[in-house]
Chain A
């Protein structure tokens, strides 16, 4: 990589907090703070972790007509999710699909009343912007909000922390989005996250990011948490990491993400299809796919990590898929993983074997998530 690493507006704060910085998606990001990954993970589930996610892409889509319904309809040409029925002040998970039914990114779409806010993965943001702009430019203005930062506060203490800065945060339900002032800073706040815990994702102008972060960090129970903990938390929550668990070669059905395709967009629905790969997805919705993303629990103590091959037999002779993400789950109390297996082996309890350092370690297919979510629905 020739270019120097980019920095988020919280870079100085991370150094002040003693973060260990690593390159991630072209940014210099905190992988952990002095507490360490394990402690940051456990603290997030017990109390509240504060994450800098400003490296992610935030895109504003505004219909030239001024009607958000037109922007929603236009966006439905790119995603299988129902965006037209997404009410103002609500957010939903969506997938950008490709002509062969693969996934080019996963994202959140929020209805901000007269525009749509898309939050996309850092590594995909330039490609996603180009994709949306190319498809929607006739009917919409599409703008990359490069002057905006994003902070996540996750855990049981998150509500009290954010509500201390604005009581209205407490009234929000899971997947609500609102414009709220926090510490005197206008913010876009959603009650959502990537950890399986209750919490908020908070966007603001770059110039104000440090003010908001510091105001949150002094709230009782809030501690900084880095990308290391972010990954182990989302894995325990059964959430996909784009590029590992879902990618151009995985369909929404293979990825066990059918739930993100609302009825109106499925065959027979009012606005069925109309997104890239819709026919392939429709076929798979009807007939199933040949493989499926599942959770995997190791029977022993050795972590089974992304890239490990899976086998149906102890001798490692019968291929049965592969692991796409794996780590030790501090809250799950042992190694947890996700991977793709042939659909007939995808039933929880199915015993498989993972190739690790020349041995074949027993694992069991497990329902996701590994740790129960605590969303405020």
Chain B
């Protein structure tokens, strides 16, 4: 299992051809306390860079972009009543979507933990 990071402050934990996707603690802090989250419907195919989910704070909505091309499998239902779970545990229980990885070669373009940590300083 490997964890990758994107420039848009998403992380993905990949096992086989399935990825669990969320936002990093850095992104969660920037956004502030979330009040709402939703994802594209299961079965939807998203291209890398398309919006796959939306999270909202008091003031604004922010898109979460698909880090790789694939099909949405599930939204983290726990966020339905408790979007702030993302803030409390952004890289664990506060995951946002599970999706397939259609093209593993796209993972090569993503960052590892060390590179991402250096990016956010």
A: which residues have CB within 8 A of B? Answer: 32, 36-39, 41, 228, 231-232, 301-303, 305, 327-328, 330, 335, 357
Contacts and interface: CB of A to CB of B under 8 A. Distances in A.
A32 B32 contact: yes
A159 B61 CA distance: 35
A303 B35 contact: yes
Interface in B8-23: none
Contact of B59 (A39, A302, A327, A335): A327
Contacts of A36: 32-33
B32 A305 contact: no
A38 B58 contact: yes
Given A36-B33, A303-B35, 15 more contacts: A36-B32, A37-B58, A38-B33, A38-B35, A39-B33, A41-B58, A232-B58, A301-B35, A302-B38, A303-B36, A303-B61, A328-B56, A328-B58, A330-B58, A357-B54
A231 B59 CA distance: 8
B36 A37 contact: no
B59 A228 contact: yes
Interface of B: 32-33, 35-36, 38, 54, 56-59, 61, 80
10 A-B pairs closest in CB distance: A328-B35, A38-B33, A36-B32, A37-B58, A328-B58, A228-B59, A232-B58, A301-B36, A303-B56, A38-B58
Contacts of A39: 33
A228 B33 CA distance: 13
A225 to B, nearest CB: 12
B57 A37 contact: yes
Contact of A305 (B33, B61, B80): B61
Contacts of B61: 303, 305
A235 to B, nearest CB: 10
B50 to A, nearest CB: 13
Most central of A231, A303, A305 by chain B CB within 10 Å: A303
Contacts of A305: 61
A41 B35 CA distance: 14
Nearest to A303: B56
Nearest to A298: B36
Contacts of B57: 37-38, 328
A330 B57 CA distance: 10
A138 to B, nearest CB: 45
Nearest to A39: B33
Contacts of A32: 32
Contacts of A301: 35-36, 80
A232 B33 CA distance: 14
A134 B107 CA distance: 64
9 contacts: A37-B58, A37-B59, A228-B58, A301-B36, A303-B35, A327-B59, A328-B35, A328-B58, A357-B54
Contacts of A302: 36, 38, 56
B16 to A, nearest CB: 31
A327 B36 CA distance: 11
Contacts of A38: 32-33, 35, 57-58
